[in-house]
Structure 1
Amino acid sequence: MKNLTLALISLAAATSHAAEAPKFDSKRLSQDVKVLSSDEFEGRGPNTAGETKTVDYLVQQFKAAGLQPGGDLAGGKRAWTQDVPLGRFEIKGPVALTVTEGGKSRSLKQGDDLAVRASMSGMKQVSFKNAPLVFVGYGVTAPERKWDDFKGVDLKGKLAVVLINDPDFETGKGEFGGKAMTYYGRWTYKFEEMARRGALGTIIVHETAPASYGWPTVKNSNTNTMYDVVRKEPLKSHAPVEAWIQRDLAASLFKSAGLDYEAAKKQAQTRDFKPVELKGVTLSADYAVDAQVIKSKNVVAIREGSKQPKQYVIYSGHWDHLGVGQPDAKGDKIYNGAIDNATGIAAMLELARAYGKQPAPQRSVVFLAVTAEEKGLLGSEYYASNPLYPLASTVGVINMDALSPHGPSRDFNISGSAKLELLDQLVAKAKQWNLSYSPDPKPEAGYFFRSDHFPFAKRGVPALSFGSGMDRVEGGMTAGKAAEEAYTEKNYHQPSDAFDPSWPFTGMARDLELLYAVGNDLANSSSWPNWAPDSEFRAARDKSAAQRK
């Protein structure tokens, strides 16, 4: 009876808390998204006039919300921003690409046949002739899984042809989590692994299903200006060539070498796979790269805690998008990034306004709008490497990326399938809004590794990236899936990701009540959420426990 009474008291308190949660303004969300994704902001590219406008707008809004600057410390005072030094790399002039098959040569077109990134290796000119191509399967070295795709092959002076995703993506069964992508399946891992092995370059075979997006996304994201954190030895992280190739073109090159692409792919899904040179097939390339070091900015605001100001809850999201790039069929060159990620930043601003109006929580709440997510999570990676507030004293991170501007759903999800107590708290709290948790609908897409919570997670900080649900109150799963598929196919990383005045933003306004409640609970408690005991991130969190005493 005692336990029942306590449970009822707890339920009543929780229900009361839900009733007291501030309401969020869908019209203000709409206005923020409209402004941030307008042509005036030029696609919010780092180190552009669009960045200046974006940073100024965010600082203005945080000030109006009653928050304090939480950025770099100078002269005993905090600025509103954290400087983020970045390497900026841009191809200058034409990209000459020539493939030779059976002694005959033909030109390939940048962006259509291959998408070649501006080299981040430190080289100002990438030029080579008749480099051999070696198929290395999925390009994975995983000792804990007794998996080695390389079998000792020397890649120096060679171009490694690599499949996207994991060896068991197609079968759904195997050593790499079935359909769910591991970090070995991410293109970032593949580029890094080939660089570690001294390859001349990496060419990833693009296929829509295992990549989870189409060729336009590859082209639009990688043929423009590239950025990276500043590295002392860039060649250890980036081979001179990093590129994608269309699947059908790759298959034709395999055929010219006397190989069957599909058969080779099936062989690559086994432990016994051995690298295969594409005999008689070589690639030549010549292009110039302009390399500079620039500074972009994370924007940081703080609501200082009343009792434990040196313990921190972080709300994060990226303010950047792709800027001005390749024109679409209509000639539009501005990648406005309305959903990705003006929605997440609008959500952050609304949360900031709510915290600014409420009594100060016991712990500090930080609002972190990061740069260069579209360039490889660089703003969040820089913050996590150079934290303004100790990671050991960071209670948790709630990231918001590409939220739904539509009506409310009956569910929500997070990026990936990580197990952590922060998710358990989110699931429990969501019941007060009759919201259920739906596991990541596309674990094969590797979303866990593609949002700004990941640099925190890999350092042990409990972190998740919130996702709008797909089971719509109006239209159910059918409507939600249709909208998601249409966005991925037609708008993701394309100029058409633009503001739509018909968006109601009512679902986001409701979801923010939940995100506020969870963050506010953390900020007014003494608990330290952790990862599940079998999580690969648990050890790093446990190691920092002594610093929290």
Structure 2
Amino acid sequence: MSQMKAAGLEPGGDMKDGKRGWTQAVPLLRSDITGTPQLSLAVGGKPQVLTQGEQVAVRAALTGAKSVSIENAPLVFLGYGVKAPERNWDDYAGVDTKGKIGVVLINDPDFEAGQGDFGGKAMTYYGRWTYKFEEAARQGLAGLLIVHETEPASYGWNTVKNSNTNTMFDVVRDNPSGSHPQLEGWMQRDVAVDLFKRAGLDFDALKKQAQTRGFKPVEIKGATFSAKYDVDSQVITSQNVVGRLTGKKRADETVIYSGHWDHLGIGQPDAKGDRIYNGAVDNATGIAAMIELGRAFAKAPRTDRSIVFLAVTAEEKGLLGSEYYASKPVYPLGKTVGVINMDALDPNGLAKNFTISGSAKLDLLDRLTGTAKTFGLAYSPDPHPEAGYFFRSDHFPFAKRGVPAISYGSGNDWVDGGVAAAEADQAKYTEERYHQPADQWEASWTFAGMAHDLGMLYTLGRDLANSNDWPNWSQDSEFRGARDQTAADRR
């Protein structure tokens, strides 16, 4: 708030005593496992004790329950855990889920083949872990364990461990059990392989079967899972921070720049004993960029439309702050021109290109591409669509409600070093720093690339805010219908 104020922005949040404040209150369910969870697998009555954070990573319950107690629940392999009637695909076909723990694979059924009904290498929402837990709840499972594999997950086990064994949050729901099973967690691949082998099954063979439409759920015979732990569960209030510059002609029409201010806080220590998760790239870069854009707009002549600078909470816990804003917007979504999100920008040198998360087609991308050309930047499609970044950034809650929204990505073709150097740096960041304490400020960062790109993003937003245009999604986009439903708001 103080940084937004210093940048020259106006308060843009909730109304308080007839005036806007700097924040939007976001009620969240906060859950922590208290003590050490008791977790075990058994095959043929022979138990195997599991260590939290090592063999498995079990999340604190988000159902509001004060404890989790599961004793000898049968295990069933559910392929990729997908129920997609429009694709004639049902990994739950014919299975009685009551009281059982599902075991599923991460990503989509066609990830490894690179072609098929789920976008090939590009991840659909069915491949995201959030969907798999949601579907497990809808199907009535007692719990779900996702088998971790680095390539299809797009991150290593350290990221899974650090993201799932600390405090969990969710938006406050009327029926939390409709979105979350009693138990949610991940297991290491080698644990799954050993489990299947002890039960007389071949993990790799079943994985191949799961990639076909004819797959049927497979009971892991004689195998059970047990879990017992207490949960400290309470409703807290976090805050989205909202700054605004009111438009001089059409103040009720809004362009949004967004980023997320949260990270993981204090969590599991790394090999050096460091427990502070700084989040310097993810996402101090995005927040710093947003504040500097605000400063530039505040010093310039006021635009015709209003511009909002939205710093959302709890992105790392499932895009919760942006989901809350999009479900209860401070400024109507029907009159929101577009959202330009910034998440984990590259603090190194100049690049020749840029990207966005995912491969969505929309007028806003066309505008961005045209503007970028004047800054010497070429558009490159998401180089890693299999990672599902489109569903992992704060533009997504807006997109699914029809608002044209992109999450800007720094380029992977550096002026110094080209694609090889940029990709090597990104791979090293993902392995050694992403969601780890080592994501911290480095003296070697030049910020030259960010400084250059922000000039382009400023121009994009300013042109939108001074135009009469209403960008939309492509005709064949799954988000076009939701946008068109609000067309009357823009007449």
Structure 2 length normalisation: TM-score?
0.99
Partner of residue 30, structure 2: 88
Distance 1:208 1:105 in 2: 27
Alignment of 1:487 onto 2:429: yes
Name which of 176, 183, 192 aligns with 1:250. Answer: 192
- Following TM superposition, by how much is the alpha carbon of 1:152 offset from its aligned partner in structure 2, in angstroms? 2.6
**Amino acid corresponding to residue 212 of structure 2 in structure 1:** T
Name which of 118, 122, 142 aligns with 2:84. Answer: 142
Question: Would the aligned equivalents of 1:158 and 1:201 in 2 still touch at CA under 8 Å?
Answer: yes
Partner of residue 508, structure 1: 450
- Following TM superposition, by how much is the alpha carbon of 1:292 offset from its aligned partner in structure 2, in angstroms? 0.4
Question: Would the aligned equivalents of 2:29 and 2:170 in 1 still touch at CA under 8 Å?
Answer: yes
- Following TM superposition, by how much is the alpha carbon of 1:106 offset from its aligned partner in structure 2, in angstroms? 2.1
Alignment of 1:474 onto 2:474: no
Alignment of 1:396-545 (within 5 A): 396-545=338-487
Partner of residue 171, structure 1: 113
**Amino acid corresponding to residue 483 of structure 2 in structure 1:** R
Distance 2:166 2:65 in 1: 17
Name which of 182, 188, 192 aligns with 1:240. Answer: 182
Partner of residue 4, structure 1: none
Distance 1:105 1:120 in 2: 27
Name which of 275, 280, 299 aligns with 1:338. Answer: 280
Partner of residue 319, structure 1: 261
Distance 2:411 2:62 in 1: 37
**Amino acid corresponding to residue 184 of structure 2 in structure 1:** E
Question: Would the aligned equivalents of 1:256 and 1:280 in 2 still touch at CA under 8 Å?
Answer: no
Name which of 299, 308, 311 aligns with 2:250. Answer: 308
Partner of residue 391, structure 1: 333
Alignment of 1:348 onto 2:290: yes
Distance 1:189 1:262 in 2: 23
**Amino acid corresponding to residue 30 of structure 2 in structure 1:** R
- Following TM superposition, by how much is the alpha carbon of 1:548 offset from its aligned partner in structure 2, in angstroms? 1.0
- Following TM superposition, by how much is the alpha carbon of 1:103 offset from its aligned partner in structure 2, in angstroms? 2.2
- Following TM superposition, by how much is the alpha carbon of 1:85 offset from its aligned partner in structure 2, in angstroms? 0.5
- Following TM superposition, by how much is the alpha carbon of 1:75 offset from its aligned partner in structure 2, in angstroms? 2.0
Residues 203-246 of structure 1 show CA distances to partners (whole Å, capped at 9, x for unaligned) of: 00000000000000000000000000001111111000000000
Name which of 338, 355, 363 aligns with 2:305. Answer: 363
Question: Would the aligned equivalents of 2:42 and 2:223 in 1 still touch at CA under 8 Å?
Answer: yes
- Following TM superposition, by how much is the alpha carbon of 1:547 offset from its aligned partner in structure 2, in angstroms? 1.0
Q: Please state whether the residue corresponding to 2:63 is helix, strand or coil.
A: coil
Name which of 204, 228, 231 aligns with 1:289. Answer: 231
Residues 63-110 of structure 1 show CA distances to partners (whole Å, capped at 9, x for unaligned) of: 122111000012220000111100000000111012111221121100
Q: Please state whether the residue corresponding to 1:343 is helix, strand or coil.
A: helix
Question: Would the aligned equivalents of 2:64 and 2:234 in 1 still touch at CA under 8 Å?
Answer: no
Distance 1:194 1:179 in 2: 24
Distance 1:548 1:518 in 2: 20
Partner of residue 71, structure 2: 129
Partner of residue 43, structure 2: 101
- Following TM superposition, by how much is the alpha carbon of 1:189 offset from its aligned partner in structure 2, in angstroms? 0.4
Alignment of 1:205 onto 2:147: yes
Distance 1:411 1:98 in 2: 49
- Following TM superposition, by how much is the alpha carbon of 1:284 offset from its aligned partner in structure 2, in angstroms? 1.0
Q: CA RMSD in A?
A: 0.6
Partner of residue 547, structure 1: 489
**Amino acid corresponding to residue 377 of structure 1 in structure 2:** L
- Following TM superposition, by how much is the alpha carbon of 1:149 offset from its aligned partner in structure 2, in angstroms? 1.0
Distance 2:338 2:46 in 1: 58
Question: Would the aligned equivalents of 1:198 and 1:239 in 2 still touch at CA under 8 Å?
Answer: yes
Distance 2:237 2:125 in 1: 29
Distance 1:103 1:229 in 2: 39
**Amino acid corresponding to residue 307 of structure 1 in structure 2:** K
Q: Give the number of equivalent residue pairs.
A: 491
Partner of residue 73, structure 1: 15
**Amino acid corresponding to residue 69 of structure 1 in structure 2:** P
Distance 2:70 2:342 in 1: 43
**Amino acid corresponding to residue 206 of structure 1 in structure 2:** H
Alignment of 1:143-162 (within 5 A): 143-162=85-104
Partner of residue 382, structure 1: 324
Distance 2:212 2:38 in 1: 36
Distance 1:227 1:62 in 2: 26
Partner of residue 42, structure 1: none
Q: Please state whether the residue corresponding to 1:425 is helix, strand or coil.
A: helix
Alignment of 1:219 onto 2:164: no
**Amino acid corresponding to residue 10 of structure 2 in structure 1:** Q
Consecutive unaligned residues in structure 1, runs of 5 or more:
1-58
**Amino acid corresponding to residue 450 of structure 2 in structure 1:** M
Distance 1:245 1:182 in 2: 22
Question: Would the aligned equivalents of 1:320 and 1:371 in 2 still touch at CA under 8 Å?
Answer: yes
**Amino acid corresponding to residue 372 of structure 2 in structure 1:** A
Distance 1:450 1:521 in 2: 27
Distance 1:344 1:171 in 2: 34
Question: Would the aligned equivalents of 2:29 and 2:64 in 1 still touch at CA under 8 Å?
Answer: no
Question: Would the aligned equivalents of 2:81 and 2:105 in 1 still touch at CA under 8 Å?
Answer: yes
- Following TM superposition, by how much is the alpha carbon of 1:502 offset from its aligned partner in structure 2, in angstroms? 1.7
Question: Would the aligned equivalents of 1:67 and 1:356 in 2 still touch at CA under 8 Å?
Answer: yes
**Amino acid corresponding to residue 471 of structure 1 in structure 2:** D
Distance 2:207 2:379 in 1: 35
**Amino acid corresponding to residue 453 of structure 2 in structure 1:** D
**Amino acid corresponding to residue 129 of structure 1 in structure 2:** E
Structure 1 length normalisation: TM-score?
0.89
Q: Please state whether the residue corresponding to 1:277 is helix, strand or coil.
A: strand
Q: Please state whether the residue corresponding to 2:54 is helix, strand or coil.
A: coil
Partner of residue 275, structure 1: 217
Partner of residue 191, structure 1: 133
Q: Please state whether the residue corresponding to 1:488 is helix, strand or coil.
A: helix
Q: Please state whether the residue corresponding to 1:287 is helix, strand or coil.
A: strand
Question: Would the aligned equivalents of 2:472 and 2:480 in 1 still touch at CA under 8 Å?
Answer: yes
Residues 353-389 of structure 1 show CA distances to partners (whole Å, capped at 9, x for unaligned) of: 0000000000000000000000000000000011000
Residues 479-531 of structure 1 show CA distances to partners (whole Å, capped at 9, x for unaligned) of: 10011000001000000001112211010000000100000000000000000
